[in-house]
Structure 1
């Protein structure tokens, strides 16, 4: 009798709802709470303008560089932590007054410093060990974090060269909306329906179904934000969404392979529910370059 009465109190339609195929793999309430805090900080920085956005991006670059270089040095790589952080900051900040010229000049300088510094890391009379490996990995980190992140910083400068009157913050908001929609669409669809691994040797949990959800979310968000906020053709926003999702997905796979080779699960435990800071922005970094390229063409 109790079973019957219990069944009668069950909400109608619950048995027909699709059940997730996969585990979320993290503490979802905590992860959402951390995401809300980070989103609020980003919106505050956008509202302030470049004076708020540049320090936020620079701080993210510093923390992410610290996480990655620390993990590498724990695994016997020899990457100088302080110079990497300083050189990365130079790349971000020189992109403000000098644009891409300042960014390229700072990047080349950073590469030269890394190459020459590693060459004589043990003095003039002792040959360096693993020189090619450590130098190549150091240049990879400089490209992966501060170079890509500098394009995100320069999104706040697009309106300075624009004659259409669109506030500079709208370009950053467009980027953020596309990233959030891509992440949300990929996460929900991947958890609910993911069954076909995209690259099982690199990231077993990333599925083609999740990728499709990311594409749908990114395309819809891109089309709406570009047409409504930036007042340009919707199809430009749709193309932006596709490019952003492809780069974000590949960025996730790159970090997955990076952690797999180092034998670690997260870059750090800095962000509850997410792992490290780099675990949160890995897909945003390469997608920032594509976003800057498309939106700077629109704005300019």
Structure 2
């Protein structure tokens, strides 16, 4: 009597089915991995094109910007003292960063007194208002100058009087450009309702940077200051202006309780201050012969590379608060 081969070996069909299923899973997984690799290659290629055009790693820049932004917003809205501590850390690192860059350029800037002076100005501005801000800044400059003069007592540290003046001048630059200007943000936040003005001007600076970045990347053809910053374009500035005016009106009406026309003034002033700060830092880096102040913030460069637009904008925002607030 004839028998069906499959009836004689009932496990053969089951084994073949499992093998076929495993082959399908393997093929599906291989196809998925190919798609992931292709997508990743596409993202990397796009990011490389953006980085080549703007000099910034977009993904890392966005992630680090979000972390810093959320920390800043939380501290401003909920605990002003925490914002002061946040500012102490940022200003201290930024002052040290610029001191290191100046030392690499040949200036013997004493780092310890620079950081101590930078850290002292922030709480002075927060707790003792403008008087504390000015006194702490002047005291810090004096402290750094005396430290540098005392260093001349060591034979290995002796240089000409001209070199000493240059070193003290470099320290003066750090204290005024980084520390004093940054302290206006703390001074503003310490005022009654000042946290909202601080948050508003920071949002405007971010809006200006984003608008310039997007418009310059999309439409940028005409360099604005090719000898200082070749990647900045007039199209980018126009995009930043449009965004700043719109965001300025929204912030004035819904956050600051000001009339709509003040938003136009606010947006225009911060746009000019942020652009000036950006170009000023680019000029400093050009004179020092460096691309970024440091590599501490991947995708951004250094702390000063992120604060360049904020520093003069803080002083401008405080002036507007005194006039309109």
TM over 0.5: yes
Contact 2:54 2:231 in 1 (8 A): no
What residue number does 2:283 align with?
257
* Structure 1 position 210, deviation (Å): 1.1
The two structures have a TM-score, normalised by structure 1, of 0.85
Aligned residue among 166, 175, 181 for 1:148: 181
- 2-structure distance, mates of 1:116, 1:170: 39
* Structure 1 position 222, deviation (Å): 1.5
Deviations 1:102-142 (A, max 9, x none): 11111111222233333343129955451222222211111
Matched, 1:114 2:147: no
What residue number does 1:193 align with?
219
What residue number does 1:269 align with?
295
- 2-structure distance, mates of 1:249, 1:34: 22
Contact 1:183 1:214 in 2 (8 A): yes
- 1-structure distance, mates of 2:128, 2:199: 23
Structure 2, unaligned runs of 5 or more: 1-48
Matched, 1:62 2:92: yes
Matched, 1:213 2:239: yes
- 2-structure distance, mates of 1:274, 1:220: 26
- The number of residue pairs the alignment matches comes to 273
- 1-structure distance, mates of 2:146, 2:76: 38
- 2-structure distance, mates of 1:283, 1:249: 6
* Structure 1 position 45, deviation (Å): 0.8
Matched, 1:183 2:209: yes
Aligned residue among 223, 234, 257 for 2:260: 234
Secondary structure of the residue aligned to 1:23 is helix
Deviations 1:73-105 (A, max 9, x none): 122211111101111111111112211111111
* Structure 1 position 25, deviation (Å): 2.6
Aligned residue among 115, 121, 127 for 1:97: 127
Contact 2:137 2:180 in 1 (8 A): yes
* Structure 1 position 47, deviation (Å): 2.4
Secondary structure of the residue aligned to 1:122 is helix
Contact 2:53 2:231 in 1 (8 A): no
Aligned residue among 270, 273, 276 for 1:244: 270
Higher helix proportion:
2
What residue number does 2:9 align with?
none
Secondary structure of the residue aligned to 1:54 is helix
* Structure 1 position 168, deviation (Å): 4.1
Q: Bigger radius of gyration, 1 or 2?
A: 2
Moved beyond 4 Å, runs of 4+: 124-127
The two structures have a TM-score, normalised by structure 2, of 0.79
What residue number does 1:4 align with?
none
Secondary structure of the residue aligned to 2:53 is coil
What residue number does 2:248 align with?
222
* Structure 1 position 51, deviation (Å): 1.2
Higher RCO (C-alpha under 8 Å, 6+ residues apart) = 1
